[in-house]
Amino acid sequence: MRRAIELSERSVQTGGGPFGAVIAKDGNIVSEASNSVTLDNDPTAHAEVNAIRKATNKLRTFDLTGCEIYTSCEPCPMCLGAIYWAHLDRIYYAGTRKDAADAGFDDDFIYKELELKPEERHKEIKALLSEEAIKAFDMWRESTEKTEY
């Protein structure tokens, strides 16, 4: 955890956001990263997502079962989703989403948005061509060549 916090502080000093993350397996660091949203002009370049990308590349797998993540702050909804998709076993965090909100970050706002019905959210969300989209799911179900994840 101290390494994740150190990465978050170093990130601020080099122009990134105040977030760091470390992924470990069997007590060894597999990857580490900091937030590079402003450096990369990429709103998805959060520390956790960057660390997941590095770990999956290093381990040559999209499944990080057996790994755990240490983050300097409670993961935002996007990062939490990525952590679940990557199948990390455990999440450890230092700062909270309230700490992030107090520093001007949208994490807590987005968590609150997810609790609302779609029609009550601040951004319009609307389904289009739903019936046409089902074909891809049917193709997936019928495929014998797929790699499930």
Here the tokens at position 80 are 């939490």
Which of the residues 48, 115, 145, 148 is marked catalytic?
48
In angstroms, the CA 22 to CA 66 distance is 14
- Residue 121 in 3-state DSSP? coil
> What is the C-alpha to C-alpha distance for residues 95 and 91, in angstroms, rounded to an integer?
13
Asked if 122 and 113 count as a contact pair (C-beta separation under 8 A), the reply is yes
48 is catalytic: yes
Q: Cite the active site residues.
A: 48
